[in-house]
Amino acid sequence: MLVLILTAALVFVSLATTAELPPNELGRIMILEYHKIDYPEDRWTRTPENFRRDLDTLYARGYRLVSLGDLLDGRLAVPAGTTPVVLTFDDSSPGQFRYLEQNGTLEIDPKSAVGILEAFLRERPDFGRGATFFVLPAADPPNRLFNQPAHAGKKLQYLVSRGYEIGNHTLWHANLGKYDEATVRAQIAGAQQWIQRHVPDYRPRTLALPHGVYPKDVSWALRGSAKGVTYSHDAILMVAGGAAPSPFSRAFDPVRLPRIQAVEAELSSWLRYFERHPHERFASDGDPDVITVAAGSRDKVRSDLRNVRVAGRP
């Protein structure tokens, strides 16, 4: 059971280390949106070296990985004084997950996103584990399930086995705003069907909107069926919008979850923003069963959490 703690008025000052951040679990959270991990650095491309640098920077500034599912469920088990961050990858391009053959065996390319993440987690296990890959099962190459057809199933199974998540991004990046209900549902259900061919018991919980465009009726994207395949999404992710509200906040809307495009200028801008405005940044109290907010902020907590126990805090 979640417990809501109202702290005495929190005074935020320039802090020497992020570990000194006082609890503020109504602060905002970055959901970062990556596309290609490749060369050269470009509008939709992050080089492997820069992606690794992003992880180093996030870790050093007190950010810790959580899965998108944990964000949606409010299970934010990160150390006190740190801030959850979510990684997402759109379009299943090959640089996100690539196998290399070495002496007759398959190894994960250390310069692919998965290879970089796995290496970083071996070095920094306290960083946490989590990322969501929004895949395109029927796109033209090179975006069809990471562009190694012989290993598509192996890759999806690996991701799930290692605690990563697979999200729906439609069959081939369809602009859902252009189509009728039947086509929208077919695009979403068809993508799920492809995923479940390789991981039969897996249910994608989230949909990332291609081009950031909603269908004419958002309910078509949330749940439904086509050709015998039933889908149900707990959240819909946009392609922009900035940092997301806390999942405990009244402002949190899982049907319209904003993201930060992880390009140099935008990511750097948001990191600077939270350094200058630490009172707007989610800071954990270290207890995932307790929500700690500043005094006077009770009315900003989601209404369905109203009946939890309220405890004082010196």
For the stretch 65-77, pLDDT in tens is 999 999 999 999 9
232 with 222: CB under 8 angstroms? yes
The class (CATH top level) of 27-282 is alpha beta
Domain boundaries, the chain: 27-282
pLDDT at 11: 35
Q: What is the three-class DSSP state of 275?
A: helix
| C-alpha distances out from residue 132 to 71, 89, 234, 270, Å | 12, 6, 14, 21
Residues 6+ apart with CB under 8 A from 174: 183, 184, 187, 210
> Could you tell me what percent of the chain has a pLDDT over 90?
83
Query: What average pLDDT does the chain have?
Result: 92
For the stretch 82-141, pLDDT in tens is 999 999 999 999 999 999 998 889 999 999 999 999 999 999 999 999 999 999 999 999
| C-alpha distances out from residue 310 to 6, 123, 145, 199, 314, Å | 7, 39, 47, 42, 13
For the stretch 276-295, pLDDT in tens is 999 999 999 999 888 998 87
Sign of the alpha-carbon dihedral angle for 194, 195, 198, 201? negative
Of 9-23, 126-140, 169-183, minimum mean pLDDT range: 9-23
pLDDT at 6 over 80: no
Confidence of residue 226 (pLDDT cuts 50, 70, 90): very high
Neighbours of 211 (CB within 10 A): 11
Instruction: Say which amino acid occupies 26.
Output: L
pLDDT at 16: 36
**Is the model more confident about 292 or about 225?**
225
Please indicate, yes or no, whether the overall pTM of this predicted structure exceeds 0.75. yes
pLDDT at 295: 78
